[in-house]
Every structure is written in C-alpha cells, then in structure tokens.
Amino acid sequence: MRFTVSDRFDASIERVEQAVLSGPYQERLRSLPNVAEREVRLQEEAPGGLVRRVVRYRFDGHVPSAVRSAIGADTISWDERAVYDPAKHEWRFEIDPHVAKGRFSCRGTYRFSPEDGGGTRRDVDVDIEVKVPFVGGAVEAAIAGGLRDTLSAEHRILTDYLSENDT
C-alpha cells in the first residue's frame, strides 16, 4: 500500500528543517498519540552533510486483533532509521520492526519544498507491505490509518513549535 500526506507550514524551509533537527522539537514528539515511548537513539552528521537518525518507538494504542495475530505479539515496537539530505531537503526513512521481521516493511520519504510567500510544503510518501495471507491488506490499512494520524499530530506539534520559537 502506498499513500501520500501533504501539508503546509507558515515558515521558511530553513526554519522548518532547523526545527525538525532540533532536540527540543524531538522532545515534543514524545507526546504523539498512541506512543508510549519515543527515544532518539542516534542523531549524527555523516559525510556529505547528511544527518543519520535512529528513533525507537513503542506503540501504546489499540491494536486490532487482526494486527496482533499477524505480528504474533501484543507489544509493537520499532526503530525508525532515517537519513536527511539537506541538499535535497529530504528525509528517507525505513522502519525496522522488533516483531514480525520479514513479514512487514515500511519505508518512505519526507520532502520539504519552499512555497511562494515564504511557507514550506511537506510531502510524505509511504510504502507499507504486510506479507500475511488473507489479512495483509487489512493490516496495511490499519497501519496506514495510524501513520496518517501520527503525521497529522506531527504537523500540529511542529506548527506550535514554530509559532512559539518565531525568530
């Protein structure tokens, strides 16, 4: 399953990208809905100006029975491994699940683009694949719905952060 979420921020691309890389904004993301744990395990500069980041998550929301059956666990946790390329204004990410390895994949990109008037557009493209007979599509749809909710919450949190840290 592939989907895209697009939204806009009333701040320059430089401010948006600077905020997304900041520790204080990352701390705020601990308040995302349905997330019991969110910890930045690594954020480092890499050759060529790239930034590598690894974030550990533990889900704390409702897990439909089809999803629990598909992954074979009640606790859902994962590491998000991402690389930011400032020249392209783009994050590439991949989810490394702690359960259901080999039966689940999720990867995508966050792209930032300047808009006329000084705003910034964020386009997030996500590919999800669940390799479980009969219920894979339903599980993909449930995960996609949760990711859309998370992206919406991230938008609100970043909008508030930018507003409070207007420089």
16-68 confidence digits (pLDDT tens): 999 999 999 999 999 999 898 999 999 999 999 999 999 999 988 777 776 66
- Look at the chain and report how many structural domains it folds into: 1
Question: Rounded to two decimals, what is the model's pTM?
Answer: 0.90
Integer Cα distance of 9 and 54 in angstroms:
25
> How do beta strands 51-59 and 90-97 pair?
unpaired
Instruction: Write out the residue range of the structural domain in which residue 103 sits.
Output: 2-164
- CATH code, domain carrying 31: 3.30.530.20
User: How much is the average pLDDT of 106-126?
Assistant: 96
CA angle 50, 30, 83 (to 5 degrees): 15
Q: Mean of the per-residue pLDDT values for the chain? A: 91
pLDDT band with cut points at 50, 70 and 90 for residue 139? confident
What percentage of the chain carries pLDDT values higher than 90?
Answer: 68
Q: For 22-31, 107-116, 137-146, which range has the lowest pLDDT when averaged over its residues?
A: 137-146
pLDDT of residue 167: 57
- What are the φ/ψ torsions at residue 40 (nearest 5 degrees)? -75, 110
